[in-house]
Amino acid sequence: MTDLRAIWKRRIGEYVQETQKYLQYVFTGHLVIVLLFVLGAVGMTYSEWLETVPATFPAAPIVAGLIGATLMRRTPVTLLREADAVYFLPLEGKLSTYTNEALKWTRMTKLFLPLVVTIVLLPLLRATGHTSIVTWSLIAFVVLYTLYGTRVEFAFRHLYRGEHILTLYAMHFAVGAGVVYSLVEGWYVVAAVVALAYVAFTQQRIVRNVSTEPFPFDHFIELEQRRMMSFYRFANYFTDVPHVKGGIRRRSYMSWLFPNARPFDRAKSYRYLVMRQFVRTDDLFRLYLRLTALMVLGVAFIETEWMLVLFVGALQYALVSQLIVNLRKRPVFSMDQLFPITEVDRRRSIDRVVRLVVMIEIGIVATLALVLQQSFLTALVVIVVGNGTFLLEGRKK
C-alpha cells in the first residue's frame, strides 16, 4: 500500500534541496552585505522616527491595515505534480494523510511574515501609549489566526476549485484588520465576538462541506506550478534557471531609448540589440522599475543624509550587478553571435546600455533628493555613489 506520509517526506526533502540549490546563488556575500546595509538604514530611520512620533499619531488603523494585509493570503504548499491527478485518484479517500502534512508545512512557512511585521510594529504601539497587554494579545491572535486561516483557505480552494478566492481574501483582511484594530483600542469583547463569528461561519459554510466534494487535483497542481515558477523567476535574477521562460513585451513607449542603428556601425548595431533586450524582457525591466521605486521611497522617507546615501548606494549596487550579469548571459548559441563583432565590443555595448539606464535612474533619484531633501550635497553624493557602483561592478564583471 502506498504510504502518503512517506511520499510527502520524500517530496519535501526534494523541495528543500531544490530551493537551496538556487538560494545559494541568491544570498551571496555581496547581496548579504547589501541587505544588511539596507536593513540597517531602514531600522535606524525607524527608531529615530519613533523618538519623535506624536502621541496622537493614528497608529491603530495603520497597524491594523498592515497586519491585516499580511494575514490576507495563505496559499497552500502541496508539492503536487501532474501525474498525481492519475496516481493519487484511487487513494482520494486517504488523501488527508498527505494534505495534513502539507498544511503543517504551509502553516509554519506562512507564519513568518505576519509575525515579523507584528514584532516590527509593536514599538510604534508602545511609542503611542499602548499597554503591554496589547503586545501579547496581538502576537497570540496573529499566530492563531494564521494557523486556522491556512486551513480555511485550503478548504475554500477545495470546495470552490479556486473560484471566488478574492472574496475569501477580502474576508480575511476585514476580519484580521478588524480584530487587530479592536485589540489595539482595547475593545476585547468586540475582538472576541468578531473572531468567534469568523470561526463559526467558516466551520459551518466551508470547512465542514469539504468532505462532500471530490479533491480538485487540477486546481492544486496548477497552483503549485505557479508558485514554483514565481520562485524560479526570482532565482533567475541571480543565476541561470532552466525552468524559466521569460516573458517578452514590446513596450513601444520606450523606443526612444533605442540608439539609431547605422548599417555599417557595428558597435551601435549591437547596442541597439542590447537595449531592445533590456526594454522588452519582463524580468529585467521589472527589476529595474522595482529597485528604482524603492530608491524613490527611500528618498521620500529617509531624512538622515548618510543613511539615505547608504540606502541608495546599496540598491544601486544590486541593480548594476544584476543588469550586467543578466545582459551578459547568453545561451550556447544565439543569432547575434553571427555578427562580426568582437567580444570586447559586445561587453562595451552592454556597459554603455547599463550606464545609460542607470544614469536615467540616478537622475530621477538625485532630482527627488534635491527637491524633497532640499540638499544639493545629498543629490551630488547620490550621483557620485551611483556612478561609483557602476564603475566598481562593471570592472569586476
pLDDT, position 145 = 95
**88-97, 143-152, 284-293, 298-307, range with greatest mean pLDDT:** 143-152
pLDDT for 142 equals 94
DSSP state letter for 263: T
Any alpha helices (H) in the chain, and if so which ranges? Answer: 4-26, 29-52, 59-70, 84-87, 96-110, 112-127, 132-160, 165-185, 188-205, 217-236, 266-280, 282-301, 305-328, 343-372, 376-396
> Average pLDDT for residues 237-241, to the nearest whole number?
70
DSSP reduced 3-state for 227 = helix
Beta carbons of 232 and 243 less than 8 angstroms apart: yes
Looking at the predicted structure, is the pLDDT value of residue 175 above 90? yes
How many residues are listed for the chain in this entry?
A: 397
pLDDT of residue 232: 84
CB under 8 Å to 67, separation ≥6 — which residues? 114, 117, 118, 121, 138, 142, 176, 177, 180
pLDDT tens digits for range 4-58: 899 999 999 999 999 988 888 777 766 677 677 777 777 887 888 888 888 788 8
In which band, very low, low, confident or very high, does the pLDDT at 296 lie, cut at 50, 70 and 90? Answer: confident
Tens of pLDDT, residues 216-227? 999 999 999 999
pLDDT interval class at 100 (50, 70, 90): very high
Nearest 10 degrees: Cα torsion 318, 321, 327, 329: -110
Per the rule left: phi > 0, alpha: psi between -120 and 50, beta: everything else, 55 is alpha
CA 275 – CA 140 distance, rounded (Å): 51
SS3 248: strand
| Mean pLDDT value across residues 68-85 | 91
Instruction: In whole angstroms, give the CA distance from residue 292 to residue 368.
Output: 12
pLDDT (tens digit per residue) in 354-385:
888 888 887 777 777 767 666 666 677 767 76
Judge whether residue 335 has pLDDT over 90: no
Q: Residue 103: pLDDT above 50?
A: yes
3-state secondary structure of 75: coil
The CA distance from 238 to 321, in Å, is 9
What are the extents of the domains in the chain?
Answer: 4-42+50-234, 252-396
Contact 327, 354 (CB under 8 A): yes
Angle, helices 112-127/29-52, rounded to nearest 10 degrees: 30
Task: Specify the pTM.
Answer: 0.72
pLDDT of residue 265 exceeding 70 = no
Grid coordinates given for 266: 557595428
Q: Is the pLDDT of residue 96 over 80?
A: yes
**Residue 268 in grid coordinates:** 551601435
